Homo-oligomer: A and B are copies of this chain.
Amino acid sequence: MPQSSSLNRRIVLAARPHGEPADSDFRLETGDVPQPGPGQVLLRTVYLSLDPYMRGRMSDAPSYAEPVKVGEPMVGGTVTRVEASGHPDYRPGDWVLAQSGWQDYALSDGTGLLHLGPDPERPSYSLGVLGMPGFTGYMGLLDIGQPKAGETVVVAAASGAVGAVVGQIAKIHGCKVVGIAGGADKCRYAVDELGFDDCLDHKAPDLPGRLARAVPQGIDVYFENVGGAVFDAVLPLLNPRARVPVCGLISAYNATSQPEGPDRLGLLMRTILTKRLKVQGFIIFNEYAHRYGEFRQAMEGLVREGRVKYREDVVEGLENAPRGLIGLLKGENAGKRIVRVGPDERNAL
């Protein structure tokens, strides 16, 4: 069932997952296409972003954001087109970046919407290199990580939407960059296409030993987006005054219980003290919304000039979004994963 002009498909949270999400945690529903009232705009989803943070929203554990309610549509960033409008700032046909979630149609009062201008060349890039993941990598690296030329930067999920930006921006700033990724293909991509100095496959044996040999000068910035065994390998290699921006912990998102001991919480605090580390969490649009314009201008230039490369991994059809997210959490994606929900063109339905 493709997108249509008369039905609104929505994928709702059917149940809170225990551990890895399953198909049965999602449910496809259909309903009427809503009509905009005064001050409202009707958005049609063209692209939906799939991102690791979505796993967190499926749980009701305390976090930085409200969980999705069971029975409600999954949340998500979207690139949309205006279908009808009662809002003075939006006209039918406008391209708009929104947070309209896993559905074909949504109403908005304009809050949080961003115009993408007439005829954007690659509208879906606003979900990736020019959007939340790119902004996360760029600002976390530069503002918290403060990389200096000659320093060593390590980033995991190196071929992912965030990691690829971190590594490429660090290279532009004169750093040595070592990526970590799941599989030889992803590592080759990071080195051959993205220009990383090195990339280690965390699925191969002895990551700690290989990482130690790859960073003979130690690690000055570790951009944390995975946690788990990768962080364990990084921690002893951090240099004094290293910076650790923390934007995600994908390895732990499906965890159902705390791992067995010994309890290394004190070890981490002691390492923070003796190495004078800065470990800082951030949620990009909470901490840095006021700098999005600055980022976007800089990154558009870098992408246009080919200095930052970007790859998308497109899942076809809203009905395949659940499988797309489940696979993303396992690292099956090759590049930024998005869902093609409907056609670019208006009146194609």
Contact B281 A276 (CB under 8 A): yes
Q: Does A264 contact B (CB under 8 A)?
A: yes
Docked pose: A281 CA to B272 CA in angstroms: 5
Q: Which of B248, B249, B263, B287 contacts A260 (CB 8 A)?
A: B263
Contact B228 A266 (CB under 8 A): yes
Contact B249 A64 (CB under 8 A): no
Q: For A64, list chain B residues within 8 Å (CB).
A: 240, 273-276
Among A146-154, A251-259, A300-308, A330-338, the stretch in contact with B: A251-259
- Closest beta carbon of chain B to A301's beta carbon, Å: 29
Contact A278 B276 (CB under 8 A): no
Q: For A258, list chain B residues within 8 Å (CB).
A: 261-264, 266-267
Q: Does A292 contact B (CB under 8 A)?
A: no
Q: Does A280 contact B (CB under 8 A)?
A: yes
> Known: A260-B261, A262-B261, A273-B281. Is A268-B267 also a contact (CB below 8 A)?
no
> Known: A63-B274, A247-B273, A261-B259. Is A266-B252 also a contact (CB below 8 A)?
yes
> Known: A261-B261, A264-B264. Is A276-B283 also a contact (CB below 8 A)?
yes
- Closest beta carbon of chain B to A279's beta carbon, Å: 5
Q: A216-256: contact bitstring with B at CB < 8 Å (1 yes, 0 no)?
A: 00000000100110010000000011000011110010010
Q: Which residue of B lies closest to A272 (CB)?
A: B281
Docked pose: A315 CA to B266 CA in angstroms: 31
- Closest beta carbon of chain B to A270's beta carbon, Å: 6
Q: Please name 24 pairs of A and B residues whose Cβ atoms are closer than 8 Å in the assembled complex, sorted by A.
A: A56-B274, A63-B274, A64-B240, A227-B266, A231-B265, A231-B269, A246-B269, A252-B269, A257-B262, A258-B262, A258-B264, A261-B262, A261-B263, A265-B267, A268-B269, A272-B280, A272-B281, A273-B281, A275-B281, A276-B280, A277-B280, A278-B278, A278-B280, A279-B280
- Which 8 pairs from chain A and chain B are nearest by CB? A261-B261, A258-B262, A264-B265, A273-B281, A272-B281, A276-B281, A278-B280, A63-B274
